[in-house]
Structure 1
């Protein structure tokens, strides 16, 4: 337990359900014991709701079935009680007519789950395009301590020794098939090589754009958005998030103390430098309005005139993918090169400013993460 506690055990939100000394509290305790918990499991301990968007039909989150155990381990090590709560799983490539139709439904589900149960802090497990803003919107509304865990990108695609990128090479290959340049057997091989592991698209699509933005805004364990889904560093990050969320409960470090207009500006700067998805515009504005921060298209337009694209990642880039970006230094290496454009005093979930978090970050490949005087593209997401 943190020595500088703001919250005491009696002040825990869960205590209103379980320790109120009335009949309803008695009944709630009985139901907790029905699940095999003893009074010592929750008495004076934060209850952490792990909102998990895993499902059998979402390959982006397929590893979350295992990663939730890493989160639980971290929570238990810090003296909290972890409770996994499944919520709506949105998968960009299969949900019809569009997962965007269900983003706000996920946001409402997250908000009501957090409000209606005795939860003191939340872990938000997502990553596929619309799940990131959906989870964030719900958590912003409730304003209890929360950490977002990004699913992480899948491994590079591969077919016959050629690197493939999800999305972009899918369109290219299908066109080659339609004009007769590749046969059915080759198409099947490409189909199996495009997506080789659990995780989100390894191109800089909406998934990695949004997780990188949330990371830059301070709502992830720092650097989490760059870690490939199946890298064991992802397991350790999940455990660290579980440990940290318990500390955040005692510190009363809520999203409102992290998400300011300046932190949203940091997110936009990051999106521009990544050459990220234009879908981020609607999601950032939605999250900003939920957080009561005044962010509009004017901010995107203004920032885009100053921030170059320095990340050479497909589809804006010509060669590299998210796995390469991680090896090159990841989000922190890139942000350290953007220091002059960032609000460095903004807080993160680990209780440090973003400036402190990135100050020692290095870049290991200057072709993947360019220097400011060697820009990949001289302007960002939006045209003049």
Structure 2
């Protein structure tokens, strides 16, 4: 393990914000090959989004280096709700919702990490067995209220108010680290910068219960901001999900390929497993020939393959190329729905119609005169074919199972016409 300095690699990638004991962690890595580390996720939803990838990419890098990642699916903490970053109380979920979400997140984690040298645990296994008296006697007595009040995430909620339920969340997370350290040999916790207080509370609890020499470390990740100062992770349509039913592989691919030149190298360092030499070469290409968007294409390729596999990447690239070239005839209905989900939309009746009337009725053209001019000039394509006859009859049943007519005006302006 000593041949590869993972801490130095993480620093080069801009992936470290704070460490509780860098010297101690480095010494441990140099003298041991059994490091186990963890990160947790609460089952507040049935899919991860790309914001969740930020800490999990660090776990994956440790796994690639031969270390042992553990992920907590927070069946216990998820029933409570982390106050982090919120100005109001979470709405508590039903047990059925939590269970469903646990199963969905477990499946996604197994896709990202595989089954070798990796494990998933659920903190309901130990939190669910702690009675109220045990919680107060065995754990809560080690936490000072004044110290808890000074934690950033708690202090930010004092004016608006915070329930004891969410106030006590950091105790539950500290118990998680203690239990993992004691029973699973976990020495390192990874989290976002907002988790620093929870991580240090866990290390303090370990030292109080297991002794000051018990080895436990924490590492947080910087808040990831885009070049314009806004928070990374959202698209115009909202969250970018890992679930292909929520965000299709094509949409996922497009999110990455459309990243700003100012951000792309940072994301290559963070979200791909490319070497330093490969990333530096791509950085030079971006600087010299930014119009080729070589770095963005490689970023989209690497991350889409990581999340959706080779088949998801192939489909995303095929849809991208088909829409770019205009050769859409071989796309399936589902692929059309993926590729044109965000395109302008219109509705038409299920009947043959003259092309000029069709273009005006769907408001693709503002007038019959403009429609005739664009058709004659070859600017109108229907279902991938250029149509230059003003007498052409649009037959909705001729393609895409009669569900859609795809109109392209000029080189790139698509309209998805749904047939009713």
Q: For this structure pair, what is the TM-score category when the shorter chain's length is used for normalisation?
A: under 0.3
Structure of higher CA gyration radius: 2
Where relative contact order (Cα < 8 A, 6+ residues apart) is larger, the structure is 1
Using structure 2 for the length normalisation, give the TM-score: 0.25
